[in-house]
Structure 1
């Protein structure tokens, strides 16, 4: 175990540390970094009294401390020289802070503010897609008579998630989590943050099918031997990022090409390729929220039916029926 008096000292020592080592923080400092409306990350990480404890991965954190980052993730970052105070602060805020783009408080939408449901054009820019997803979040919040509140994750949190997965998050999912980050809206997304003490028991975090849905082992076991081998190989390439209505049917992306698959444990086939990209799925969630809120604003109760029609026109009846029924 090694204790570093400040972050620059830790960064300087990174080349000498084992990549498998972990860095821990005092529990109160870790809580401040995790707080939704935290102080600037640069200020928190530069506190004079803050100490960074490095331990072997097989050791438990010392009393009063919590895991923060593995050395492997910190070593991936392109650290500037701490002697350049401006660059150092900007870097800490960019890596460990959270985007403020959508986090300012907004009033609850008036009915007049509700847009009609719409799709973004196929060549929509990232800014246009983010605006569409945010409108979907606003529409969902309006149904609960609440203002939409973005809850973005930091770049460091996503780096840690990717380190655990051993692959990159799809670009559109990464953009959504960095800028918006709301996990519960039209359907439930899983968190990029996982239990740092018992990650293989965390079924609410983005992770392998085997961790998020342990029951998959029974399904594979009941398959014919050749089918079981093929199924194991396919499942090993899938990462779960969403839970359809909390019923155990899962949304997954393929770590090789980012395509989106639906795991339906209730009916055959078990796995269905649904979308080319997670962004298509997020577009669909935004449309569903807009359809529901627009129908309610007009005194109708057919928002889900309207969404289904529009989804079928875009993605085909067979895929939408697999999803919805």
Structure 2
């Protein structure tokens, strides 16, 4: 199990999913999180199940996401990857002209028809989505207008960021607050201050 006492103990699991050793480093983080929270590890998802989801959505998933599902299933990555039955087109979450749905801006409406949800941010109603054409990652923040922000060029960076931030729960002799600070510093170096601020604050 990972035991973080120094900033250098924090693992950056990969540059790109599929790189040499990406699965070993990711597995160490995922298994450490499961042990820390006394959770069961999730089974890999078969290629057939992934292809069935793509047929249902009538579009392909980002390649990195498919590889992750096929290797680690719906694992705990610090944020809540959606079950396959919950993955859907964002535009279908609310009925058209629903008084209870978000008042999307004109800017939001450009990307909205292309977005498919796949991850919930801390269960607060915010979600991460991928673009059906570009496979870029967008963030839906129900508190801030415009509600939709492009965050990452690919899903690999999102999953990498989650696995880095999640290691704040694996603190050893140092305070968790210190490890949280270290993970944020690493994320800022990788993704930039603006992305981290939007994501975490």
For Structure 1 versus Structure 2, the TM-score category normalised by the shorter chain is 0.7 to 0.9
Alignment partner, residue 286 of structure 1:
163
Alignment partner, residue 256 of structure 1:
133
Superposition RMSD in Å: 2.8
- Post-superposition offset of 1:156: 1.4
Distance 1:176 1:312, change over 3 A: same
Which aligned pairs between 1:1-325 and structure 2 lie closer than 5 A?
109=1, 111=3, 116-120=9-13, 122=15, 125-145=18-38, 149-192=41-84, 194=85, 205-211=86-92, 213-214=93-94, 217-218=98-99, 222=103, 227=106, 231-293=108-170, 295=171, 297-302=172-177, 303-325=179-201
Give ranges in structure 1 of 5+ residues lacking alignment. Answer: 1-108, 195-204
Higher relative contact order (CA 8 A, sep 6+): 2
Contact 2:90 2:115 in 1 (8 A): yes
- Post-superposition offset of 1:298: 1.9
Q: Give the whole-Å Cα distance in 2 for the aligned partners of 1:121 and 1:156.
A: 26
Q: Give the whole-Å Cα distance in 1 for the aligned partners of 2:176 and 2:14.
A: 27
1:7-32: CA deviations, max 9, x gaps? xxxxxxxxxxxxxxxxxxxxxxxxxx
Three-state SS of the structure 2 residue aligned to 1:246 is coil
Larger radius of gyration: 1
Q: Give the whole-Å Cα distance in 2 for the aligned partners of 1:261 and 1:255.
A: 11
- Post-superposition offset of 1:278: 0.7
* TM-score, with structure 1 as normaliser: 0.54
- Post-superposition offset of 1:177: 0.6
1:266-317: CA deviations, max 9, x gaps? 1133111111111111111111222330x2x224122322211211111111
1:132-168: CA deviations, max 9, x gaps? 322221221132245x623211111111100111111
- Post-superposition offset of 1:236: 1.0
Q: Give the whole-Å Cα distance in 1 for the aligned partners of 2:123 and 2:16.
A: 32
